[in-house]
Amino acid sequence: MAGLDIFLQNVANGVLIGGVYALIGIGLTLVFGVMRTINFAHGDFVVLGMYSAVLFNALLGWDPYLSLLLAMPIGFFAGVIVERFILSRVIDAPPESALLATLGISLIIGNTILLTFGGEPRSVQVSYASSTLSIAGVNVSMVLLLAGIATVIMIGALYTLLNRTEVGRAIRGTAENRLGAELVGIDTRRIHSIVFGLGVMLAVMAGVTLIPLLFATPTNTGAVFTLKAFVVTVLGGLGNVGAAIAGGILLGVVEVLGASYFMSEYREAYGLIAFLLILLFRPEGLFGRTVKRV
């Protein structure tokens, strides 16, 4: 019985942490789906979110969730500016130009944070950091539960935006066929800016929800999150929002279960190995339907 309890506990933790991975992955996959750009700076925007929570906490004493109110709009506009001034200029260049540009942005963000905050790990202490909630005999950490709830709300909002609004329709149209979208009068440049803004906003939000749980360091953490986002989106199939959610939860569960039942030192490697296998055998993703191997 005890074995089952621990198993359920692990699955619950995996699902909740996977929700945050999903949030990170959705941002990346949305940007890729619409702009066909692989955003190497995505993880650094997550770290930027973490540091924004640290900053608001240090200056104003705000709880991370309160700082979301400011951090998310700022993230959105930062994304719009980056797209306008950098990415929009390389959108028609060979695909690796955009990749290299985001790599540059990633280095600039990480090292600017390093110059501003220094290299030591930062975190935000919250009163509910170690409290747990018992649901049907399974103990769930409060921080993870809050992150899970925030993720569900955000995904719901995003779903409504994409499927129920005019902007969402324009985004989906641009993703499907940029030229076709332009022919029916959609300003795809504006859509690209909005989508990149949304991607950064999601990354920032994920960072803020993670800060009570993890320490933020300027340069390494960014790369870790970028990798996780790649793993999540490739698991599900690049460019597919629904699949990114499934991919995120899958990665969370695989990591937690792999770490508790096999070798915990290789926690990070399980996701990477799954990622390689999928790249090799199903580049369109586990749930992808469009079989177009380019």
Partner 1 sequence: MTKHFLGLGVLLAVGIVYPAIFPNYLTIAISVLLFAGWATSWDLLGGWNGQVSLGHASFVGLGAYFVAIGQSRFGLAPWWTMAMAAAFAAALGYFWGWLTFSLRGPYFSLSTIAVAEILRLVAINEEWLTGGATGVFIATLPEPFGIDLFSRVAQFYMALAFAAVVVATVIVISRARFGYQLRAVREDEDSAMAAGIDPTTTKLKAFMLSAALTSIGGGIYGIVLAFIEPHVIFALLLSVQIALTAIIGGRGTIWGPAVGALVLIGAGEMFRTTFAEANMLIYGILILVVVLFVPRGIVGELARRRIRRLYAKRAQG
Instruction: Work out how close the CB of 150 gets to partner 1 at its nearest, in angstroms, rounded to a whole number.
Output: 28
Which one, 25 or 173, has the nearer CB to partner 1? 25
Instruction: Work out how close the CB of 35 gets to partner 1 at its nearest, in angstroms, rounded to a whole number.
Output: 12
**Is residue 157 within 8 Å of 150, Cβ to Cβ?**
no
- Alpha-carbon span 176 to 223, nearest angstrom: 29
Q: Which residues bind partner 1 (CB under 8 A)?
A: 38, 86, 89-90, 93, 95-97, 99-101, 103-108, 110-112, 114-115, 119, 219, 223, 227, 230, 234, 263, 265-266, 268-269, 272-273, 275-276, 279-280, 283, 294
Which one, 51 or 275, has the nearer CB to partner 1? 275
- Alpha-carbon span 251 to 290, nearest angstrom: 22
- For 90, list phi and psi in degrees, rounded to 5: -115, 10
Which one, 115 or 135, has the nearer CB to partner 1? 115
Residue 128 Cα to chain centre, angstroms: 24
Instruction: Work out how close the CB of 101 gets to partner 1 at its nearest, in angstroms, rounded to a whole number.
Output: 5
- Alpha-carbon span 19 to 3, nearest angstrom: 24
Residue position matching structure tokens 């055998």: 281
Instruction: Work out how close the CB of 271 gets to partner 1 at its nearest, in angstroms, rounded to a whole number.
Output: 9
Residue position matching structure tokens 């990480």: 110
At what angle are helices 241-261 and 2-35 packed, to 10 degrees? 140
Which one, 148 or 247, has the nearer CB to partner 1? 247
Using CA atoms in the order 175, 180, 181, 187, what is the torsion angle rounded to 10 degrees? 120
Which one, 80 or 229, has the nearer CB to partner 1? 229
Which one, 140 or 227, has the nearer CB to partner 1? 227
Token output for 282:
């199903």
